[in-house]
């Protein structure tokens, strides 16, 4: 199987790729590996939706894959999902795509600039309706996410977005990854490890190393079951 792994930063997949055998550089930001009987290309896109969408679209226009995996860390709005937990994000939203109307926020769908079910959206969300049949993926908690340009760190904005969308987690790249995979009709999974609770910035409570280690172990098992 030929697999594409997409990550924002090399650090997020560092422990994962140490278990693979590097075979070649495939081009800008893409390195080829072998592992668990698969050819694995790793794309380090850079942080944010624009970088992810641009570099991923470039790769998918040139190469064919059987599966794409988005690996990275995320923040959790749900305090029952503790830092270090690895989750499978099965739906995502572009949370900031819309307009302010005083204290209210209007989504792009409420503005009638995009239909709720205009492909690749379903009910205003990007949904992974057919995740890969994989024993490891199936054992992860399925969650709903939002993708943002500015991570939340203020009590008021956290409360507003939680009421508006009721997300479990947030990232800065997930929706861009899902959008590209959906329009390319490529089987995919967005797999993230919670590094922190979404709250006012509290670096002392972050568990980034533990999250990355857990993500690496989960990614290895996904490869073994692919």
Q: What pLDDT, on a 0 to 100 scale, did the predictor assign at position 85?
A: 97
Q: For position 27, what pLDDT does the model report?
A: 85
pLDDT for residue 135 = 96
pLDDT at 97: 95
Averages of pLDDT over runs of 10 residues in the chain (226 residues) are 98 97 93 97 98 97 97 97 97 96 92 95 96 96 98 95 97 98 98 97 93 98 95
Expressed as residue numbers, the domain containing 38 is 2-225
Write the CATH number for 190: 3.40.50.1580
pLDDT (0 to 100) of residue 26: 85
Task: Tell me how far apart the alpha carbons of residues 128 and 91 are, in angstroms, rounded to a whole number.
Answer: 6
One DSSP character per residue, 85-138 reads -EEEEEEEEETT-EEEETTEEEETTTTTSS-TTSTTEETTEEE-SS----HHHH
Residue 163: its pLDDT value, please?
95
Q: Which of 91, 100, 153, 162 is nearest to 122 (CA)?
A: 91
Q: How far apart are CA 87 and CA 84, in angstroms?
A: 10
Q: How many structural domains comprise the chain? A: 1
pLDDT of residue 162: 96
Query: What span, in angstroms and rounded, lies between the C-alpha atoms of 132 and 3?
Result: 12
Q: How many CA atoms lie within 13 A of 3 on its CB side?
A: 24
């Amino acid at each position: 199987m030929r697999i594409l792994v997409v990550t924002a930063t090399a650090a997020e997949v560092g422990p994962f790729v140490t278990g693979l055998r590097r075979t070649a550089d495939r081009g800008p930001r893409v390195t080829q590996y072998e592992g668990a009987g698969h050819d694995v290309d790793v794309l380090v896109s850079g942080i944010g939706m624009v970088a992810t969408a641009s570099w991923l679209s470039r790769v998918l226009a040139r190469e064919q894959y059987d599966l794409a995996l988005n690996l990275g860390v995320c923040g959790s709005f749900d305090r029952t999902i503790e830092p270090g937990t690895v989750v499978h994000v099965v739906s995502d939203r572009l949370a900031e795509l819309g307009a302010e109307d005083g204290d209210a926020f209007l989504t792009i769908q409420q503005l009638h600039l995009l239909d709720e079910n205009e492909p690749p959206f379903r009910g205003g969300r990007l949904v992974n309706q057919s995740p890969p049949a994989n024993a490891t993926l199936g054992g992860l908690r399925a969650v709903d996410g939002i993708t943002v340009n500015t991570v939340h760190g203020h009590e008021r904005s956290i409360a507003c977005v939680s009421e508006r969308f009721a997300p479990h987690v947030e990232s800065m790249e997930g929706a861009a990854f899902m959008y590209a995979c959906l329009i390319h009709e490529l089987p995919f999974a967005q797999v993230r490890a919670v590094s922190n609770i979404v709250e006012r910035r509290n670096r002392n409570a972050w568990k980034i190393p533990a999250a990355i280690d857990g993500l690496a172990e989960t990614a290895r098992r996904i490869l073994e079951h692919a």
